[in-house]
A and B are shown apart, each in its own frame.
Chain A
Amino acid sequence: MGRAIVVTSGKGGVGKTTVSANLGTALAQLGHSVVLIDADIGLRNLDVVMGLENRIVFHVVDAIRGKCAVQKALIKDRRMENLWLLPASQTDDKDAVTPEEMRSLVNELKQMHDFVIIDCPAGIEMGFKNAIAGADEAIVVATPEVSSIRDADRVVGLLAAADVPARLIVNRINAALVKKGDMLSQADVIEILALELLGAVPMDDQIVATTNKGVPAVLEVTTKSLAAKELQRIAKKLAGHEVEAPATSIGFFTRIGRALGLAASPA
């Protein structure tokens, strides 16, 4: 029986789709069998971020409506042995499916795969409720900004109410700005949200470049790929492997802060 993990944030544009695509691919690199579900019905994106947009025949609403078998709606990623995408429908509304339907779909996929990664839409309405319905655990993605953290806090409250345990990824950190005191550090974000940190992903131009090409950054890791390496480290941690401390090269005081932040136990 696999694990279903929803990637959520409240606010849009903070990196949910990027994190879903890269964690899913990195888990497949580790040898796990992974299905990515795009739960952003009406505004699908995970297909283009994965570079699989030209191969879509059926989508998640077709699978739920029984228009095709669930297996038929999955797109096999040819770059990997064990990675599939279940795309969102672009023509339906977010309320085309119910939480119960999503839960049974996710449960069916969990029978055959190690990980089901659900890319959640922005907002806290129907699309959010559908996306978290079948999830065993959640990853909350936040950028170190007031509006993102505020929205993440709402989502943390809703996840707690739904009994879905959550961990945090801080995305788009700019170490130089943190050092100057012009950006919140990951320790600040951990302290404010009182969540366990899974990882801190730096702002990295390579994410933009690989996304342009429809290639998850973890498939093109070089020595300079700071974000992709951190995403691979997070995937290992998710899968329960031993991992090193985060690799980001930031200052001494920030590291102390982080150590303190890490020591704080989640509420």
Chain B
Amino acid sequence: MWSNIKNMFTAKSSASAAKGRLHLVLAHDRSGLEGGRLQAMREEIAAVIAKYVAIDAEAVEIQIETRSRAAQLTLSTPIQPRNA
């Protein structure tokens, strides 16, 4: 019952799917950076970070999004504890 109600609010309409896809596509279009190149950049940056702190290269997340015509690049990664 609770999950039904929750579904009612979280079920994705095709309009919100369109909106999500547009945000992504436009971020790439506006920055001139193709999706595949973004992943290549993610790997290169992960390798650089790994030289300084212990990270799991697979866990590095890269994201490009648009805010009012300007594209914003975000990279985030958990850092592994020193004695792990």
Contacts and interface: CB of A to CB of B under 8 A. Distances in A.
B13 interface: yes
Interface string B1-33: 000000000000111101101110110011000
Contact of A146 (B18, B30, B68): B18
Contact of A182 (B13, B25, B70): B13
Most B CB contacts (10 A, CB to CB) among A156, A178, A181 go to A181
A188 B19 contact: yes
Contact of B16 (A150, A157, A181, A267): A181
Given A182-B14, A267-B68, A267-B69, A157 B19 contact: no
A56 interface: no
B29 A153 contact: yes
A149 B18 CA distance: 10
A254 B69 CA distance: 23
Contacts of B25: 146, 150
A180 B11 CA distance: 12
B64 to A, nearest CB: 15
Contacts of B14: 181-182
Interface of A: 145-146, 149-150, 153-154, 156-157, 178, 180-185, 188, 192, 194, 264, 267
Interface of B: 13-16, 18-19, 21-23, 25-26, 29-30, 68-70
A150 B22 contact: yes
A182 B15 CA distance: 5
A180 B18 CA distance: 14
B18 A181 contact: no
Nearest to A160: B69
B77 to A, nearest CB: 29
Contacts of B68: 194, 264, 267
6 contacts: A146-B25, A149-B22, A150-B22, A178-B15, A184-B15, A192-B26
Contacts of A182: 13-15
A145 to B, nearest CB: 7
Nearest to B19: A188
B30 A267 contact: no
Contacts of A194: 68-69
Given A153-B29, A154-B29, A267-B69, A146 B23 contact: no
B21 A146 contact: yes
Nearest to A182: B14
A153 to B, nearest CB: 5
Given A150-B29, A153-B30, A154-B29, A192 B15 contact: no
Given A146-B25, A182-B13, A182-B15, 17 more contacts: A146-B18, A149-B22, A150-B29, A153-B29, A156-B69, A181-B15, A181-B16, A182-B14, A183-B15, A184-B15, A188-B15, A192-B23, A192-B26, A264-B68, A267-B68, A267-B69, A267-B70
